[in-house]
Amino acid sequence: EWLISRTSRSKPHRRLKHTRRRKTMTTTSYRWDRTRTMRGDTRDKERRKRGRKEKEEKRIRQKKKRRKRRIRRENQKIRRRTRRINPVCL
């Protein structure tokens, strides 16, 4: 499996990924584990995770806002309706 190194993204230099052979029961089939030991990749992963979390939070905030807006609108409708026939003035 090839891995394009982070340093030379613009250049098409490719290098072999560091792969370790995982010991399995059968000797014929080899499982190559997909571990990446590069520090940059883990940092990217963390950043991605953080981004995902922030997006999720944003979505929740928007949901809350929408709910509030809907409730406010409904309340206004009710208020308007009740204002038309005020029993005190009758």
Q: CA 58, CA 56: separation in Å to the nearest integer?
A: 5
| pLDDT, the chain, mean | 68
How many Cα neighbours within 13 Å face the side chain of 63? 6
Distance of CA 53 to the CA centre of its chain: 5
pTM exceeds 0.85 for this model: no
Q: What is the chain's pLDDT, residue by residue, as a tens digit (90 residues)? A: 455 555 555 555 555 555 555 555 444 444 444 454 555 556 677 777 888 888 899 999 999 999 999 999 999 988 888 767 666 766
Across-strand partners of 2?
A: 16
Give the model confidence (pLDDT) of 31-45 as tens digits.
444 454 555 556 677
- The domains of the chain are located at 2-83
